[in-house]
Amino acid sequence: MTNSHSNTPAIETLRWTGANNADSPAGFLDGTLRLIDQTLLPTRFEERVCPRVEDVWEAIKTLRVRGAPAIGISAAYGVCVGLQTLFRAGEAPSEPIFFARLAEVTDYLASSRPTAVNLFWALDRMKAAADRHRGEDPLALAERLLSEARAIHEEDRLLCRAMGRFGAELVADGASLLTHCNAGGLATADYGTALAVFFAAHDSGKKIHVYADETRPLLQGARLTAWELSRRGIPVTVQCDSAAAMLMRQGKIDAVFVGADRIAANGDTANKIGTYSAAVSARYHRVPFYVVAPSSTFDLTLPTGEGIPIEQRDPDEIRRGFGPQTVPDGAAIYNPAFDVTPHELITGIVTEHGVISPVDEEHVRRVISPERTCRGN
Ligand code: MRU
């Protein structure tokens, strides 16, 4: 049985447009990165063109593009955009100049946001691809990097589908599910990580209802998750983050599914601030709590979540939010973008290879291959 909404097209969160390597003498030089400006959703749907690496950096920093996998893919294309300046003068750069610019661009993009490890994983992959082909003509090297970015993009689509399939098996027909932040198509190349589970369950004909935490302070749950679920015909209710515990107490939540920004070797998981509270509430109310993430979100160089860098964001996100000032000038503001949920609170981690459960270092290492993870940032 399949659902009538199974043909709803996935959102094209970001895309590379312009010449293909094969049909332009200038190779990838004519191309550029375009992404949906997520700061405008749900009331305005607009694409933003990023012709310079500075535009890609700004888009990541200000959350025009956000969500761990989408940040990684954008950064990979950002490297290509950043290399274009080398070829604009007409004369091909030398190999040392090419690699110096590559280092400059990757370091710069790495400074945009600290927590989502997919950013560093993607930049690592781009540098490794260039290193493998040292000695080739710089334009050929640059074209190889565009192919690598395209590969990262394409692979993410397949990973989303695989996670969706594994996760949907954990969802019963008629289930009522809670999620936090946005781990959907807008955060990936296809239809998400946590939301992939909901989409796959729905597409297979299961009736589900989703409770989306609004996700203070930037409202990714209210603005983005509710928008994605509604456009695919999945019933969704938005509540304040602080209402989640009461929903669980009322027996209205059968399971929680969230995404992740970085997962340590023991399974401790960084995700949007408020995830930890949801996990504590879920444990208290005996509701299963699942994290959904691809291998590229694991950081096996960190033994525990203690070492995960947590981004602190602008106090104005809390002081003014989306409207008038709501905090007096004299009050200090604490605005961490992420928190870490200890592995003991996680029932299972759904990956592209299957479900890790119980969640501990031994079971993580059985499923996640170190070659598919970040080498340390
Ligand atoms: O600050 P954001 O919006 O980038 O935070 C995003 C999240 O916390 C997501 O849950 C996470 O990146 C997983 S996305 C598949």
H/E stretch holding 253: none
The tally of domains found in the chain comes to 2
Instruction: Give the residues of the chain that fall short of pLDDT 50.
Output: 1-5
Mutual orientation of helices 53-61 and 68-88 as an angle, nearest 10°? 160
Return the pLDDT at 376.
61
Please give the distance, rounded to the nearest whole angstrom, from the Cα atom of residue 135 to the centre of ligand 1.
38
150 and 169, same domain (yes or no): no
| 270, 259 Cβ separation under 8 angstroms | no
Residue of 261, 268, 299, 339 marked active site: 261
Mutual orientation of helices 68-88 and 95-110 as an angle, nearest 10°? 150
Return the pLDDT at 263.
98
261 is annotated as an active-site residue: yes
Which residues constitute the domain of residue 194? 164-372
Q: What are phi and psi of 270, to 5 degrees?
A: -90, 130
| 299, 262 Cβ separation under 8 angstroms | yes
304 domain residue, yes or no: yes
Q: Which of 107, 129, 159 is the last residue of a domain?
A: 159
How crowded is residue 16: how many other Cβ atoms within 10 Å of its Cβ? 19
| 14, 70 Cβ separation under 8 angstroms | yes
Phi-psi domain of 58 (left: phi exceeds 0; alpha: psi -120 through 50; beta: other): alpha
| 177, 211 Cβ separation under 8 angstroms | yes
Return the pLDDT at 160.
96
pLDDT, tens only, 21-67: 555 555 666 789 999 999 999 999 999 999 999 999 999 999 999 99
What is the domain-level CATH number for residue 236? 3.40.50.10470
Q: What are phi and psi of 173, to 5 degrees?
A: -60, 135
What is the domain-level CATH number for residue 71? 1.20.120.420
Taking CA atoms only, the protein residue closest to ligand 1 atom 10 is 259
> Looking at residue 281, what DSSP letter applies?
H
152 and 222, same domain (yes or no): no
Return the pLDDT at 101.
97
Taking CA atoms only, the protein residue closest to ligand 1 atom 15 is 183
Q: What are phi and psi of 61, to 5 degrees?
A: -60, -40
Please give the distance, rounded to the nearest whole angstrom, from the Cα atom of residue 68 to the centre of ligand 1.
6
104 and 224, same domain (yes or no): no
Please give the distance, rounded to the nearest whole angstrom, from the Cα atom of residue 143 to the centre of ligand 1.
30
Return the pLDDT at 88.
78
Q: Which of 105, 132, 159 is the last residue of a domain?
A: 159
